Amino acid sequence: MDNGIGVIELVSLGGFSGGLFLKPIKAAMVTDIGGIGDESFNASAWRGLQRAQKELGSNVRYLESRNAADYTRNLTALGREGYDVVFAVGFLMEDALKRVAPRFPKVKFAIIDGQAPNLPNCLSINFNEQEGSFLVGALAGAMSKKGAVGFVGGMNVPLIKKFEYGYRAGVLQANSKARVLVGYTGNWDDVAKGRELALTQFNQGADIVYHAAGRCGLGVIQAAAQKGKGFYAVGVDSDQDHIAKGRVLTSMMKRVDNAVFDVCKRVSNGQFKNGAVVFGVKDGGVSLSPMRFTKSDVPAPVMKRIEQLTTMIKQGKIKPPYNDATFKQWRPV
Amino acid sequence: MRCRCAWANAHLKSNETTMNEILNLELLNAAIRNAAPLIFAALGGLLSERSGVVNIGLEGMMLMGAFVSAWIALLTGSLWLGLFGGVMAGAMLALIHAYATQQWRADHVISGVAVILLASGLTTYLFRRFIIPMEEAGKTSVVGVFPSFEAEWMESNPLGLLLKGQNWMVLFALFLPIAIHLIMKRSRWGLRLFAVGNDSQKARSMGVPVRALRYQGVLLSGALAGLAGVFLTLALTGQFRENMSAGKGFIALAALIFGRWTPWGAVGAALGFGFFEALQLQLQGKQVVAHALGADDGCLWCRWLQRLGNKETELLTGHELPTDLLLMLPYLLTVIAMIGLFGKMKPPSDLGNP
């Protein structure tokens, strides 16, 4: 999971830098079955495109996929319409991209959270979700009064496992005796089930539950809000702290929007490079939210420790596990 | 070291994970909550199908009810108006279904699918058009839920533990089957509805207004399915999200069929499903009891499940049952229970005929 070719700067340089060379581009994205309203990476990618529209004058558009058969069809449609850059959002589109990309060599394709085919017009954008999740785990482990925390995942797939293992390692780092209750809802839509699973984990002794479950996660936050004082949820992907003020301890932000915007920019000024990029804590691709409503709940030493761990991840001293094999080998530092 | 999974430690009292801990009242508490929306929708489906109209549109009516209730509650600030709106929205969608199937003799299944697609598209569109901008403007889209029962006496009393944290809608879901049963068996209207569904020709020749009764049955089914949707928003999550019914309408339909189109059967199936769903969620939490810092030997059961679920995973985390298998549990066990408990299916004989 090392950084590949061409590390893209995630810090926005504003609309003006290099503005002289910017040409207005046509940029589009294909959502996976979660759709644009998934409160997760599809929505985030669309925010990135909207920003490109505002700041780069790009002509933007999205196509939604209702089922797996739509992937190829949508990607082909956008390729045929001659978009400059097309984002395939989600690892589910890997196979479709393999088929479509070679047919449109002039169109740049970028896949989020997946592996792009090895072609001059293809780029894969990945995130080290385990790094941010590790920090969440470290915070949760230190904050848990009951010595047990929970994790609610959407589907049991390698991408979500990265969140889970990073989190579990973080909890261990903070409190080697803490229990982690892990559960999956099996889908991304069922808000009621997310709530039920979180309530179950709260009843089983957890007092902080982290979710990586799309819309189901809103049920997790709701459960924490209903349980009240002493119970927390942790949000994911975007800053979800405001959804239940004071009951969302923090959010593990994954800046798909910044990555999408940056690729648009590179296409505009002709600096697009194929290959792979990986964003982590180091470049701000994943991070904890500013914790606007819960900062006062966290003791200063805990906060300091989190900052310390953040630095260690940045320096490469901690490499949080992201799958079963790396988790088994992982030891707290 | 022994396996730390729930099964291996079921007999150990000192261990934190015991079978007692899994089979507790909280489980039943959650089971009722899971079952409530299914009960509403299944009983709704019963009224429609007993009148002879197939209603696979329950899922759509539920989604519509969920959206409209959240929207109205958001606009007016009143949960009761939201409830009313959600029920009406379900009924309106059912009206389309009744009109298509009764006036135009459309195929019931096709009309039902159309209802689902319409609801899914319309709620998504309206949600993005009206509620998402509100969120983006920094306003909350959470409307809150009906207050739940909380009292001291509930802590020690088994009945109290069942009701603790629930709200009146859950109680209503438990009493509704009694009402529906009495209506179907004792009232003139119910018996006529039954007759229409079994042999509409004969009923018509006896002077029963077939079309009117079918309209009523379908409309009521829409209202109840809408109520199921209202339950998701105003009793559980306090908000609407795209596609949040997530197949519950179909589960309710399955419960109705497994329950052989009787109120008690349908409710039994819904409760069974709710129970296994709650059990499944509890077991998921139990499986990862410990961290994989040291090597554990999995128990036989774990090893077997592991082999079934994921060949690549070693036994180091032997207490980890495959999640997918657990997620399947409620569906699987409901089917098995129903096959075992009930005999031959006997749908209303005039079901689906114009």
pLDDT at B23: 58
Structure token digits, residue B95: 């009206």
Nearest to A249 by CA among A236, A261, A259, A263: A236
pLDDT at A234: 95
Q: How many angstroms away from the CA of A152 is the closest CA of chain B?
A: 10
Residue A10: pLDDT over 90: no
Question: What is the C-alpha separation between A18 and B180, in angstroms, rounded?
Answer: 71
pTM across the whole model? 0.84
pLDDT at A86: 94
Q: What is the pLDDT along chain B (354 residues), one digit of tens a residue?
A: 455 554 444 444 333 444 455 557 778 888 999 999 999 999 999 999 888 888 999 999 999 999 999 999 999 989 999 999 999 999 999 999 999 988 888 888 899 999 999 999 999 999 988 888 888 777 788 888 888 887 777 777 777 777 878 889 998 998 999 999 999 889 999 888 888 888 888 888 888 888 899 999 999 999 999 999 999 999 999 899 988 998 899 999 888 888 888 899 899 989 988 988 888 888 776 654 333 333 344 555 555 555 554 443 333 343 456 777 778 877 777 677 666 665 566 677 777 776
Q: CB within 8 A of A179, min separation 6: which ones? A: A147, A148, A149, A205, A206, B288, B289, B290
CA-based diameter of chain B, in Å?
Answer: 77
Question: What is the C-alpha separation between B352 and B288, in angstroms, rounded?
Answer: 48
B34 touches chain A (CB under 8 A): yes
Class of the A129-253+285-329 domain? alpha beta
Amino acid at A291: M
Give pLDDT tens digits for A16-60: 444 456 778 899 999 988 788 777 888 889 999 999 999 988 899
Question: What is the C-alpha separation between B160 and B175, in angstroms, rounded?
Answer: 17
pLDDT at B161: 76
Residue A303: pLDDT over 50: yes
A191 and B278 in contact by Cβ < 8 A? no
User: 3-class SS at B44?
Assistant: helix
Nearest CA in chain B to A325: B313
Return the ∠ at Cα A264 (arms to A284 and A313), rounded to 5°. Answer: 15
Nearest CA in chain A to B288: A181
Higher pLDDT, A133 or B211: A133
Query: What beta strand segments (E) does chain B contain?
Result: none
B244 touches chain A (CB under 8 A): yes
For residues A64-77, average pLDDT: 90
Nearest to A127 by CA among A1, A268, A313: A1
Higher pLDDT, A146 or B354: A146
Assess contact for A90 and A113: CB atoms under 8 A: yes
CB pairs under 8 A between A and B: 117
Query: Which residue numbers of A have CB closer than 8 Å to B's CBs?
Result: 35-39, 150, 156, 168, 172, 176, 179-184, 186-187, 189-193, 195-197, 199-201, 203-204, 206, 215, 218-219, 222, 226, 242-244, 324, 327-328, 331
Nearest to B240 by CA among A37, A314, A162: A37
pLDDT at B340: 60
Residue B341 exposure: Cα atoms within 13 Å on the Cβ side: 15
Residue A164: pLDDT over 90: yes
Rounded (10°) angle between helices B323-341 and B300-309: 100
Nearest to A197 by CA among B282, B137, B146, B342: B282
pLDDT at B285: 67
DSSP-derived letter for residue B234 is I
Domain boundaries along the sequence of chain A: 19-128+255-279, 129-253+285-329
Domain boundaries along the sequence of chain B: 36-250
The CATH-assigned architecture of domain A19-128+255-279 is: 3-Layer(aba) Sandwich (3.40)
Burial class (CB in 10 A: 0-12, 13-18, 19+), B58: buried
B242 touches chain A (CB under 8 A): yes
Give pLDDT tens digits for A257-288: 999 999 999 898 888 888 899 999 988 889 99
Give the dihedral of Cα atoms A172, A202, A251, A286; nearest 10 deg: 40
A204 and B241 in contact by Cβ < 8 A? no
Question: What is the C-alpha separation between A3 and B43, in angstroms, rounded?
Answer: 56
Query: What beta strand segments (E) does chain A contain?
Result: 26-30, 59-63, 85-89, 108-112, 122-127, 148-153, 179-184, 208-212, 232-237, 248-254, 275-279, 286-288
User: 3-class SS at A104?
Assistant: coil
pLDDT at B73: 93
Nearest CA in chain B to A155: B324
For residues A166-181, average pLDDT: 90
B120 touches chain A (CB under 8 A): no
Question: What is the C-alpha separation between A158 and B202, in angstroms, rounded?
Answer: 60
